[in-house]
Structure 1
Amino acid sequence: MELTLRLLNRVFEHQPQLVSRLHGPTQPLLQHLAKRTHDALRQTEKLHTDYHLELTEAIQTLLQRLWQSGAAPLARELGVPKTFGV
């Protein structure tokens, strides 16, 4: 789970021009990011709460980046929360 979160965060960190707007060429990437974030959150919820404490910072960063990117409408459709609470 930690690796998944790290990889998703790296995309937002290293490709800001690709994730800033939702338009033709970037739509598949943004759809993938929103879906993987949604899936990662669902998987995290199944983990013991001790792991939640370790992953909270990475998840919060990912959610903040996702909601500030062009993927925000896609995240809204999937029901991705804006924050992760422990």
Structure 2
Amino acid sequence: MAKLEKELQQAIVSMPQKDKDKLLLRLIGKDEILIQQLIFTLVEEELTVESRREDIKIIIDTLYDTPVFSSGYLMMDMRYINAQITLHVKVTKDKYGEIELTLKLMKDCFEKQLKWIEKYNSKSDTLALYIVKRVDFILKKVVKLHPDIQFDFHADTNTLLGYVHKYGTAHYAREMGLPKTFEIAE
């Protein structure tokens, strides 16, 4: 993003309010994420974080309740949902929800679509690597939280780590140095 020169900043500030409003609305209209942030902050008054989280949980449940035809298709769908989680975080700044939703996405994969990741093979390789990288992402995010909040994720994180070290992802989990259990930081 280009930095505005002092002269231009002063010229913009001295513009009539009506012209600044028009310019502002035109610029906002070009940034979809900014529009979503403004809707969330100004229109919804930040009251919809929980309902937005629930909407993504429904999408996750729908993914895993629908028959999947290959590990490749499953991974594409998981990446799509992960992009929805990322958008949710950009709009709402919901760091707790980011961990909760990503944890659900990964854990439910083992619990509801295990056949695609149960054993390591060439077809599950890409999915296995993707899952281990997302688990590593979760661990890095969780340790940054207050210990009381880490406790909220302790059981699910340990369950997920157990799955990652037991099934077709075990090779990549060892390779990336994922712990077998998650301990709450003091």
More RCO (CA 8 Å, sep 6+): 1
Residue correspondence of structure 1 range 1-86 to structure 2 within 5 A: 1-86=99-184
Structure 2's unaligned 5+ residue stretches are 1-98
Q: Larger C-alpha radius of gyration, 1 or 2?
A: 2
- State TM-score, norm by structure 2: 0.45
- Runs of 4+ aligned structure 1 residues displaced above 3 Å come to none
RMSD between aligned residues: 0.8
For residues 26 and 61 of structure 1, the distance between their equivalents in structure 2, rounded to whole angstroms, comes to: 21
Shift of 1:81: 0.2
Q: CA deviation at 1:49?
A: 1.0
Displacement of 1:20 after TM fit? 1.1
Residues 2-32 of structure 1 deviation map (CA, whole Å, 9 limit, x = unaligned): 1110110010011111111111111111100
The share of aligned pairs that are identical, in percent, is: 34
Structure 1 unaligned residues grouped into runs of 5+: none
Equivalent pairs, count: 86
CA distance in 1, matches of 2:121, 2:143: 31
Instruction: Give the letter aligned to residue 23 of structure 1.
Output: N
